[in-house]
Amino acid sequence: MINFNQPHLTGKEAHYMYEAVYEGKLSGNGKFTKRCQAWFEQRYGFAKTLLTTSGSDALEMCAMLCNLKPGDEVIIPSYTFVSTALAFLREGAKVVFADSMKRNPNLDAQTLEALITPRTRVIVPVHYAGVACEMDAIMAVASKHNLLVVEDAAQAIDSYYTSNIQHKILPLGGIGHLAAFSFHETKNITAGGEGGLLVVNDERFIRRAEIIWEKGTNRAEFFRGEVNKYGWVDMGSSFLPAEINAAFLWAQLENLDDIQAKRKQLWNRYYDNLSKVHASFSLPDIPDYATNNAHMFYLVLPDLEKRTAFIKYLKEHGIGAVFHYLSLHSSEYYRARHDGRQLPECDRYADCLVRLPLFYDLTIEQVDFICDTIRDFFA
Ligand SMILES: *Cc1c(COP(=O)(O)O)cnc(C)c1O
């Protein structure tokens, strides 16, 4: 059986975890946490980063930093993971769901303006499959209406956006005011199963982000010697991971270039093989302004029936292919609160998108086998 996903070990994880344990500093914000954070700040130019216990936690910190009042509205694509919406709902916001684009599952920036009301406070673009949203258009709408932008970059490590307005290539997660990454074991790199990162790009949020991270205290300032005692100054929670998770993540960060090169090689093999299969499915779309970080290889089939048969056929041939999100606007939990707008592109991806196995230890031979099986299904 070729599983859909399999976590990859670089070989140094246990070594660094051992080092963390035997140096006796087990709780968070130690040597490995600082090393990981500095790595992200240097490599991508992020103003400030804080490791978190998950991508969901990083999103919750973003939502807390937005300082929302009950009834404030947040625009979120309906085709995303539950955590994107939950983080803001927990802060009392009203979630306004946006549709996806025709060309790929990302939020359709052209429909944004029509969703904005006097209560709108935040836009949350999700870079699906690590492919950039139309950030120039999104940032322009946000600045016109004085809104915050929180990037859900959970899948978007090491991916970039070419900004025509700024004439620059920008790392995803480094464009909005705040951003969240995930190191869950299904992502390109993992912090030992669960993990995340909060990115603060707008420096106005740095002080409060540290306080929220440190359970509502100004302990970070105390440790830097900036204040002579620390105490309870704001809201917060225990968002920081233990050092063993940061140590695990460090082993993966050290090898990120190798991991990315291998994933891209597999992704390109899928793309080359499957572009030669003439059948009614579409391949992933990477717009000119986006890069491919090989987070995911997906196909979009014509309808739900065909997709169900496709997944079953691959399973019978030992291949673990899986569908992805169900539309959040019609979920059991939210549908009564949704404003009733149809989101047809989101529903189409919910019914028709299928993800193929993609992980570091997959081989080119296995990709060829999967593609041959797909060709047989359509023949
Ligand atoms: C994985 C993911 C999350 C949640 O990350 P966790 O680390 O699992 O909490 C949020 N949003 C998107 C788009 C994701 O893919």
Task: State the pLDDT confidence band at 223, using cuts at 50, 70 and 90.
Answer: confident
**Residues 328, 127, 193, 364, CA torsion sign:** positive
Question: What pLDDT does 279 receive?
Answer: 86
pLDDT higher than threshold 90 for residue 195:
yes
Per residue in 126-154, pLDDT (tens digit) is 999 999 999 999 999 999 999 999 999 99
Confidence of residue 83 (pLDDT cuts 50, 70, 90): very high
pTM, to two decimals: 0.98
- The Cα–Cα gap between 181 and 199 comes to 8
How high is the pLDDT of residue 110?
95
**pLDDT tens digits for 54-67?**
999 999 999 999 99
The encoded tokens of residue 118 equal: 């006097």
Q: Domains in the chain, start-ordered, CATH in brackets? A: 13-254 (3.40.640.10), 256-378 (3.90.1150.10)
Contact 125, 80 (CB under 8 A): no
Confidence category of residue 278, pLDDT binned at 50, 70, 90: confident
Backbone φ and ψ of 199, nearest 5°: -115, 130
Rounded CA-CA distance 214/212 in Å is 5
Q: What is the pLDDT of residue 84?
A: 98
C-alpha 157/C-alpha 250 separation (Å) is 14
Ligand 1 centroid distance, CA of 186 (Å)? 9
Whole-number pLDDT of residue 244: 97
Half-sphere exposure of 104 (CA within 13 A, CB side): 21
Helices (H), 190-343: 206-213, 219-223, 243-253, 256-275, 304-316
What's the pLDDT score for residue 52?
98
* Ligand 1 contacts CB of residue 37 (under 6 A): no
Task: State the distance from the centre of ligand 1 to the C-alpha of 129, rounded, in angstroms.
Answer: 11
pLDDT at 344: 98
Q: What's the rounded Cα separation, in Å, for the pair 298 and 79?
A: 14
With a 6 Å cutoff on the Cβ, whether 154 touches ligand 1 is: yes
| Averaged pLDDT, 345-369 | 98
pLDDT of residue 56: 98
Ligand 1, from 61, 104, 184: best to mutate by most atoms within 8 Å of Cβ?
Answer: 184
Distance 181 CA to ligand 1 centre (A): 8
* Buried/exposed 204-219: b ≥16 CB within 10 Å, e otherwise: ebbbbbbbbbbebbbb
**Which residue, by CA, sits nearest to atom 14 of ligand 1?**
154
Contacts of 357 (CB under 8 A, 6+ apart): 2, 3, 4, 5, 319, 320, 321, 366, 370
- CB-CB contact of 158 with 256 (8 Å): yes
Cα 328 to ligand 1 centre (Å): 14
Q: Please tell me the total number of residues recorded for the chain in this structure.
A: 379
Q: Indicate the pLDDT class of residue 102, thresholds 50, 70 and 90.
A: very high
Q: Please give the distance, rounded to the nearest whole angstrom, from the Cα atom of residue 221 to the centre of ligand 1.
A: 30
What's the gap in Å between 127 CA and the centre of ligand 1? 11
Q: What is the pLDDT of residue 64?
A: 98
55 lines ligand 1 (CB under 6 A): yes
